[in-house]
Structures are given as structure tokens and as C-alpha cells.
Structure 1
Amino acid sequence: MPSSGRSSRRVRERSHHASAAPRRIRLIMLGVLLAGSLGACTGGGDGRPPQLGAVARSDVSEVVEAPGTVSARATAVLRAPADGTVERLYVADGDKVRAGDVLARILSPDAEERLARAREADRAASGGVSVPAGADLAALQHRTDEAAREGFAEAREAAQGIPDPEQRALVLTAITRAETGYRTAADAARTAVARLNAGLGGLGATVSSITAAQRVQTRAAVGAAERTIGALTIKAPFGGVVGLGGPAGGAPGPGDLAGRLPRPLRTEDGLTGLGSLGVPGASPIAAGAPVSAGDAVATVADVSALFLDARVDERDVFEVREGVQADVELDAVPDGTYTAKATSVGSTPAAASGGGVTYKVTLALGRGTLAGGGAAPWPKPGMSAMVSMRIRDVRDVLSVPAAAVVTSGRESFVWVESGGRARRRVVGVGVQGDATVEITRGLREGERIVVRGADSVRPGQELDP
């Protein structure tokens, strides 16, 4: 996450050729360069006379700064599908893996037992169901339907509380699939019961329909149990760098939701087809260590490409567009500067630490350069950064120091030296950098103007050469 207290801000200008230096050094260098080229020094407000400099041409950049966090191209948290122990680990923290590599094996007697029970139930259902004489099958079916409706409604409500959108979508899809399967089986059973009660069908045909409905459920339970057994061998979904364990949290997961489903449609190991998704948790990961269903066993991050998630203040976000170039400084690499390019501008607001809201801007991170000219190290996901996005960038334009421009109402003006005295001149202002401002009209290259102490100058005031 971005460092606490940081927020984006508009910065007026930053010298391109000095971008490889740390911010604190870069600003000092910029001041020295301006002093040398424009003859500027402190003036106004400290008893010193206003100072003059020549109008020149330079590059001007208007920059939006925002805190950011490095993120991987893709990250997958792989979780234990059932209670058990870590039977074997095949990787260590920081190992590079390829898609399909086995990372760990989980030993779960509970999962094995559930599979055996599911297969036994399926075999029993295949032999037919015993219906007591005089049983009210319609009433039984009605009670089952009521329980199903309540269970599915509770499961959907719980699923909406899962914060991760991908997990939430997977869980809701699984609930829909289970509900569809139940509806099909229940419709067939109700039809058979109605025909029996109407004297249009025999008891044998009705029992066969009920048996068929039960087989839908028992086969689904067998399939879920078999998938759980398969998921006990944890594999890398894509190539990347592996870490043992993963994030912790308390959001509801498939294990919680499965307990809210009607009993015929749930298995003790969770919803059908959800694999190793589960309640986020954190436990020590080592060979022989116990794990619970949903515990994070390993995390795989694809770091072949890195991105930045920058939080831009609402006052600046309209200035940022896809394709905007940026300079990036990492807290972990204080003497390096990286390049980046904005790939998307989000529309979902987030509360800012100082009030207001921010929006996420995603940038593709490029290679970095150290202050000495060498290659900067490739960052790691989670590192904090400051992103300087150049929203306006002009080159070789007529410009003056920002301190030379005085704004009064809607007008901007400078003090021009004429015959040794100060003359007020209205100017047009273009791109406004932190230290330099583009002048679009009102001045000529080489004219001498007040570059320091402009706020204290009076019309006709005598100026020192």
C-alpha cells in the first residue's frame, strides 16, 4: 500500500536531464542551473533589491505526483483444499517456477474419507431408494424445496461479502451451477410424484425418478471429493517467483458458503468445482505442518512485467491520460529513477488519508537507471514509490522562472526592464512547471525581466542592472 499520509499533488516543473538524481538533489541542481542561466538570486521580502535575468528558451514540464505501489503482472494465492498436513514441499521462498510445476502436496485423511463416503453413497443410490408405505412424497418434496430456496439465498448473500471480485464471481457461478442442478433433479421428482398421485404412473417409475434425482446429487458429491483429492497436489498456475504462505484475512469463503446450502447439494469439502479457493488464512508452511481448508500454502507472482498502482487525487485525475509518461522513484532505491507509462485510469474512488478521494492509475514500469549511470535493480512487488506523471511536456519554448510571473485576477504579467526602470507587461502563460513557465505571448527572447522579487516591484521603479 502507499506510504501513510502521501497524496498526489500537481508539480509545476522538473528538469528532464536531472531526473536520474534523487528529488532532494535534483531540486538543488535545478536552482543552481537557474541561478547560472538567469542571474537569479533571492529577492523581495528579505530586503534585497529585485534581480534581473534574460528571457530564454527551455523545456517545460507540468507534473502530477502520486504515491504508488509496485505490483506483479499476475499473482495467485494457492490454498489448501482440505484439512490436513503438508506432506512435502518442493520449493523454497524465492524459487523460480514454471507453469505446472508441483509446489507442495497435502496429506488429508479427511478428504480421503469424504471421497470414500461419497462413493459409497453413490453406490447405494444406484441400487434404488426404499419408500415407506403411505409416505407423503409431495409434502417431503415441498419441505426439501423450501430448505433449498432458503439455503441458496443465504449462500448468495454471504458470497456478496467476499472482497476479491474474482473469488466472488467464481463462488456465485458455483452457487448458480449447484442451484440449476438441484432444480432439474427436483422438477423430475415432482413430476414423478404428481403422476403417481394422479394414477398416471406406477410406484416403480416414481421411485426411479427419485433415485435419478438422488444420483445427480451423489455423483456431484463424488466429483467434488475427487477434485479435492486432485487439488491436494498444488501446482503453479503460471511461471514466476514462489513464496510460501500468503495473505491472511477473515472474508467468507466457499467453506462458509457450502455450510449454508441444502444438505443434498453440499459436500463437507465445499462447493463443487472451486478447487483450492477458500477463506484467506495464514499458518506456518513447512513439511509436517498442519493446515486447514483455505489456508494459503504458496503464492506465485509473475514478475516478468511489473506495474505501478498510483493513487491520484481527484483534483488531478482529469489531467492524467493513458500513454502519459512518468518518472518513478522507489523508496528502496533512493539513487535510481525508473520510467513508466500510464496504461489505465480507474473510475472507482478510494478515501484519501487527508480527506477527499483518490483514483487508481495503473502504469507499466520500465527499467531504471542509477545516478551514476548504471542499471537499477528490478523492483519487487509491494515496494513503495513516488510517481511523477508528465501531463504536459513542451520543448524549446520561450520561458521564464515561475517567480517572475505575477498573477492579478485573470491577468498574468511580468516586470520588464526598460531604460533602467520596471515596466508592467501582460503575458500569455502556457505550460506551468514547478520552476519554469512557458510564455506564449508578450515577451521576446533576450528581453530582461525581474526574475526574483517581482511581488515587491512598483511601476517605474529603478532596477539595478
Structure 2
Amino acid sequence: MGRVRRTEPPRLPAATRPRLLTALLAVLVLTGTTAASCGGEESPVAVAAAGRTAVAEVIDAPATVTARAAATLTAPADGTLASIRVQPGQRVRRGQVLAVIDSPQAQERLRQAKEALDAAKRAGRGGGGGGDLSGGLRGTDRAADETYAAARAAAARISDRELREALLLQVRQAQQRYQAAARAADRAVRAVQRGVSNLNAAVGALATAQRLQAQQAYDLARTTVDALTLRAPVGGVVQVGGTATSAGVSPESLAGLLGGGVPAALDPAALGVAPAGPPPGVDVAVPVGGLVTAGTPVLTVVDTGQLGLLAEVDETDVLLVRAGLAATVELDAVPGAWYEATVRSVDVLPTTSARGGVGYRVRLLLGAGRFGEGEAAPTPRPGMNAVVRLQVREATDAITVPASAVFTADGRDVVWVVRGGRAERAPVTVGVQGEDLVQIVRGVRLGDRIVVRGADQVRDGQEVG
């Protein structure tokens, strides 16, 4: 949808409009619009006096209704959907258990990781003996490499670039911590081999590296098992399956390796990230007892506590938009209703439309809606299309002329002013630009007679009645 710009006088309540119409009629009578005639036919040129009235400039921008947050819960490992504790459409609270995944593979990996961790701790307490220190270090490195490779592969399955890169960064940081310990162990082993250090120092350094690697592998397996119980990350309304915005796996499955939890900046609810659903026409619901793989969307929680709008404003208009600006909204799904809205923020970086134009995203808070008779309008749903009307400028007591009176000549805005019965070109400075009226800041005085129709047919010095 391309940008739509429309300027119009301020929207007033229905009860005020009859009084406004009466006032406008009075203005028309006082300004005395005239039209020269010949043989009873109306002339294409018309003249009216510049008046004083209120005028507002409004920008129309396409928009979409947005939820405050949306988080999709995915299976952290291969298995079956053991149970679902909620119904679609049910409102849930944050932390509430929604579903449980049964994964024998994840349980077995946890058992093996626990045994490896216990063995590493026992070896550290017992001193580990002499043994093949270099071989032990190489084995520890191979196990660590496998752990980090599996974590990177899981992160790579997330299609959202921001979330994927952030998770991969966390994996790299965890690997760097291990590598620092492994380097210390390697230095100690080499010192023993050169005969410049005692065996206990090398064994201790190697045991530290082994314990760190084993602990990280155990944390990953433990967190994966814990994540088999799917809990609501935000309060909201439940729907089955995921959304069609992006694909990926639950970052909770990496939480152990990433230091015991998913950072707030990586929260899918904050980033709006959710795994992709199947093609159209396929039910996204996973039945109880159905097979799931790591990353399968199970449920999505949508927080509709505060709806918003994401609008796109053209670069030619965005400098007029600021936080706190009031707006009115019309929805395609609710004809005849209008909603209140307030600008929350304006993006600094632009977006490029499919047509190649440059626009900026504007985020708004969506308020209540009303029909013309005052009846409350229904609450919209996320994803609905809308048109936002941003009242960017207003002049309450301005000298105005009809928009048709202003034209461009030699790169300047000008009007035809009638003095002594003849037209004179007068450069003007335009202020607020309404749909029908334009504020003249400089160049025209109140009561000046202006050509308001047929300006393209007037020449300098021409007699105008």
C-alpha cells in the first residue's frame, strides 16, 4: 500500500458540525465570492476575499494494528506432545504451564551429561594421576567442540537475523571462556613436558578445563529438559501453532550454555520473533501425542492488553511527526468507526517500500473507537489494516485562501491579487496546508481580493471583475 497524503480541516464531533457549517456559510457571505459572467455563462475565473479562520494539516499514512507482544513456544527437543493444559482463546498469566513435551532423548542426554560432570569432579578431587595429559586435553577439546557446534547449529535455525546473531554471540562468548581454561591447561602440560613445572599444576589445570566443559554441557542438557515444560513468557491469549513471520527454535534450549538464562534483549516477546507455520491450508495444531522436533511451534501467546499501530510515513512528511501527536484511525474491518491514537515514537532509520520510496515507521498507541452516533466500536485484532490521520499542524486564527488560489511560478508560491480591477502576481509564504484552505503567513492581508478559480488563465495586468 503506497503512502496516501490528504490534508483536511480538524475532525470535529458530529454535534459540532452543524454549527461549523453555519459559520462557514457566514464566511462565504462576508467574503463575497464573485464570478464574471458573459451572456449568462459563468466565467472560469472567480475572485474571493482572503478570510480569517482555523485550518489544520493532516497526513494520511497506511498502518497495521499491533499487539504489545507475541511469543511462540516451541519444542526444545525431539519427542511427543504429552499434554496441553489450556484451550485456544484462553487468557493465561505469565509463567503459567501451557503444555508438556515428552523427550526420552533429552532425558538420556541429561543422564549422560550428569555422569560426565560427576566423573570430572571426582577426577579433580583425586588429582587425576599422571596419565596421558595431552591426550586428555585433546579429548576434552573434542567434546567441547561438539557441544558448541550443536549450539551453533540450533541457533542457525532461527531465521530472525537479530535474534540469531545475538544467540551466536552468546555461544562464542561461552566458547571463549572454555578456550581460556583450555589454554591454561595446555601451558601447564607443556611446562611439565619441558620439566619446568610439577605434575600437579598440569593435572589441576586440565581438570579445571574438563569441569568447565562438563558443566556447560550439563547446563545445556538440564535447561533443555526443564524447557520441556512450556510456560507462558507473557500474559495474553493462547492460540495454537506459531505465526508466519519467521522460523526458528526456542532460545530456551540454549539457555544453559548461555549462562543460565535467555537475556532480556533476546526475549522473543520483545523482538516479536516466532517460528513460521506450515503452508496455507494446513492446520498448525499439534495434537496431544503428536510427534514434534526441536523448533516445532506448539502454542503462541499474544498480549493484547495494549494495542498499537505501526504506520509508515513518507520522508516528505516525517519531520512534521513527533511523539505525543494526536491522531485518528480508520480500520478497513470496521467501516464508519474512528479510533483515537497517540504517536509513541518515530524511527530514526528509514525503510524502503516495494516501490522504492523512502518512509519511516511511526509507532502509536491505539485508543478506544466510536461510531458516528457515539456507539462504542469493537476492539480490533492485531494485523488489521488501518489508515492513520496525523494532525501535524494547526492554525486557529489564520489568514487563509482556498488551496486552488495558490500556484507555483519561478520556484515560488504565488497568488493573483486583484487591485484596481487588475490582477497582480503576489509571492506568498504558505503555512498550514489544509485540504481546502491554505494559511498565508506573508504576502496577503485580510480582505485582499484573490483569484480563487482559473488562476492558470489569468495574466499579469488582466482586468478581473
- For normalisation by structure 1, the TM-score amounts to 0.78
Matched with 2:423 is: 423
**Helix, strand or coil: the match of 1:113?**
helix
- Structure 1 contact 85–106 (Cα < 8 Å) conserved: yes
CA contact (8 A) 1:281 1:295 kept: no
- Pick from 75, 78, 84: which aligns with 2:70? 75
Paired-residue identity, %: 40
Matched, 1:92 2:93: no
Mark the CA change 1:294 to 1:312 in structure 2 (over 3 Å): closer, same or farther.
Answer: same
Q: Which moved more, 1:80-89 or 1:53-62?
A: 53-62
In the other structure, the counterpart of 2:367 is: 366
Task: Report whether the alignment pairs 1:38 with 2:36.
Answer: no
- After TM superposition, the structure 1 = structure 2 runs for residues 142-181 of structure 1, keeping only pairs within 5 Å, are 144=141, 155=152, 163-166=160-163, 168-180=165-177
State the secondary structure of the residue aligned to 2:220. helix
For each residue in 1:131-179, what CA deviation from the matched residue of structure 2 results, as whole angstroms up to 9, or x when unmatched? Answer: 9998471796499499959x78x959x7698535245324422431243
Q: Distance in 2 between matches of 1:82 and 1:139?
A: 30
Secondary structure of the corresponding residue to residue 334 of structure 1? coil
Which amino acid in 1 is paired with 2:303?
A: D
Q: Higher mean Cα deviation, 440-449 or 69-78? A: 440-449
Matched, 1:381 2:388: no
Aligned residue runs from structure 1 range 96-107, under 5 A = 96-107=91-102
With over 3 angstroms needed to count, the CA separation of the structure-2 counterparts of 1:368 and 1:54, relative to structure 1, is: farther
Taking a change above 3 Å as real, the CA distance of residues 84 and 155 of structure 1, as seen in their structure-2 partners, is closer
Q: How does 1:322-341 map to 2 (within 5 A)?
A: 322-341=323-342
For residue 372 of structure 1, what is the amino acid of its counterpart?
E
Q: Kindly tell me: are residues 241 and 143 of structure 1, through their superposed partners in 2, closer, same or farther at Cα, counting changes over 3 Å?
A: closer
CA contact (8 A) 2:113 2:221 kept: yes
Measured after TM superposition, the shift of residue 368 of structure 1 is 2.2
Match of 2:108, SS state, is helix
- 2:335 match: secondary structure: strand
Q: 1:461 aligns with which of 451, 460, 463?
A: 463
Deviation at 1:214, TM superposition (A): 1.8
1:17 pairs with 2:18: no
Q: Say if 1:41 and 1:15 are closer, same or farther in 2 by CA, change over 3 A.
A: farther
| Amino acid in the other structure paired with 1:176 | Q
Counterpart secondary structure, 2:120: helix
Asked whether the equivalents of residues 75 and 249 of structure 2 are also in contact (C-alpha less than 8 Å), the reply is no
Q: Could you say if the C-alpha distance between residues 112 and 409 of structure 1 is closer, same or farther in structure 2, counting changes exceeding 3 Å? A: same
Q: Among residues 218, 230, 234, which one is paired with 2:226 in the alignment?
A: 230
Is the contact between residue 279 and residue 295 of structure 1 (CA under 8 Å) also seen in structure 2? no
Q: Judging changes above 3 Å, is the alpha-carbon distance between structure 1 residues 373 and 353 closer, same or farther for their aligned structure 2 residues? A: same
Q: Counterpart of 1:15 in structure 2: which amino acid?
A: P
Alignment of 1:131-150 (within 5 A): 135=132, 137=134, 141=138, 144=141
Provide the rounded CA distance (Å) in 1 between the counterparts of 2:181 and 2:157: 27
The number of residue pairs the alignment matches comes to: 437
CA distance in 1, matches of 2:128, 2:8: 84
Select 1:199's aligned residue among 192, 195, 198: 195
CA distance in 2, matches of 1:253, 1:105: 16
Distance 1:360-1:163 versus aligned 2 partners, 3 A rule: same
**Letter matched to residue 76 of structure 2:** P
CA distance, structure 2, for counterparts of residue 136 and residue 87 of structure 1:
46
Query: What CA RMSD, in Å, does the superposition of the two structures yield over aligned residues?
Result: 4.4
Structure 1 residue 225 displacement after superposition: 1.6
Contact 1:159-1:253 at 8 Å conserved across structures: no
Give the superposition deviation at 1:387: 1.7
Alpha-carbon distance between aligned partners in 2 of 1:183 and 1:447, rounded to the nearest angstrom = 82
Distance 2:219 2:371 in 1: 55
- Give TM-score, length-normalised by structure 2: 0.78
1:314-329 paired onto structure 2 within 5 Å: 314-329=315-330
Q: Are the equivalent residues in 2 in contact too, given 1:224–1:272 (CA < 8 A)?
A: no
- The aligned counterpart of 1:293 is 294
Q: Which runs of 5+ in 2 are unaligned?
A: 278-283
Partner secondary structure for residue 16 of structure 1 = coil
User: In the aligned structure 1, how far is the partner of 2:131 from the partner of 2:440?
Assistant: 97
* Alpha-carbon distance in 2 for matches of 1:224, 1:336: 52
**Aligned counterparts of 2:453 and 2:5: Cα–Cα separation in 1:** 23
1:354 aligned to 2:339? no
Of 114, 118, 121, the match for 2:109: 114
Q: Which stretch of structure 1 is more off in the superposition, 302-311 or 162-171? A: 162-171
CA-CA distance at 1:438 after TM superposition: 0.7
Q: Which runs of 5 or more structure 1 residues have no equivalent in the other structure?
A: 1-5, 21-25, 259-265
1:240 is matched with which residue? 236
